[in-house]
Amino acid sequence: MDVGSGSIKIFSCNGNPVLAERIAADLGLSLSKCEISKFSDGEISVRINETVRGCDIFIVQPTSNPVNDNLMELLITIDAVKRASAGRINAVIPYYGYARQDRKAKARDPISAKLVADLITSAGADRIITMDLHCAQIQGFFNIPVDHLVGMPLLSKYYSDKFGYGNDELVAVSPDLGSVTRTRSFAESLDIPIAIVDKRRPKPNVSEIMNIIGDFKNKKVILYDDMIDTAGTITNAANAILERGAKEVYACCTHGVLSGAAIERIEKSSIKELLVLDTVPLTPDKMIPKIKQKSVAKVFADAIYRIHEGLPVSKIFEY
């Protein structure tokens, strides 16, 4: 892709600089110069080290762990380029934190996903580019354009290359009822059947398997979800599926958050291989043999190119 290097600038905060570099490289650009550090009391300091006046600015920053630091880095960087007279400010948020708090589940709950949307807009962002929001309706929390990209084609292509399209030994499994729609799309992209795990969650980050709907006996199963956090749901589902007659269990997701005891659970589980995308960076302790990673850089680079050139982003979904 050939973009005018003077009219577009890609900045990276500290959330996922490796992904930001890959995106810039796909666009034939280098990352623009900025320094993001902390004062001794923990306050975040941002310094933009080149002119941005009138430029199309893209700030790459997932709001993953450390969530609050990464969010503040994004907000302050947006404010910095806004005050430096940037032409248009695009927040590239591969992983949108606080997305699970999208409604009042019980009395006096906050709706944190809406609050974060308001903060990003108030800071001065003109557009959001993100991938696989936990709940698609979060797009409506913003009063600015949101380009909602999908990681599923990258995951399905991996398995199509690995096992072949329409392999009758494969079954796609949704680990809970909330993921049925996205798992159905994943199954259709591979031309394989679908099964569903019905679970009960007695308290946050704790799940209990209830029933499994569908036929997967003597089949290779692919568990598909948008994100894996503590890995309780996915490993419980994998173990239950193997106990009920599956031949092998694979798992994949867009956002490998992998917090708490996730790595230990995955290592001990029946999952043969876990495929994640690089929307969230994997720290060295998470790079175990069971975990494979594919990059979303080209998808985001395509979106950035199209937005900058005024072309329809919807063409990306044909991929």
DSSP structure class, residue 253 = E
DSSP strand pairing (248-256 vs 206-213): unpaired
CA–CA separation, 212 and 141 (whole Å): 34
CA–CA separation, 158 and 164 (whole Å): 9
CA–CA separation, 52 and 310 (whole Å): 20
Which of 121, 55, 52 is CA-nearest to residue 93?
121
DSSP strand pairing (127-131 vs 146-149): parallel
Q: Catalytic one among 9, 199, 219, 220?
A: 199
CA–CA separation, 133 and 130 (whole Å): 7
Q: Residue 108: is it exposed, middle or buried by C-beta count within 10 angstroms (0-12/13-18/19+)? A: exposed
CA–CA separation, 229 and 213 (whole Å): 24
Residue 199 bears catalytic tag: yes
Residues 160 and 209 sit within 8 Å (Cβ to Cβ)? no
DSSP structure class, residue 61 = -
Return the active site residues. 199
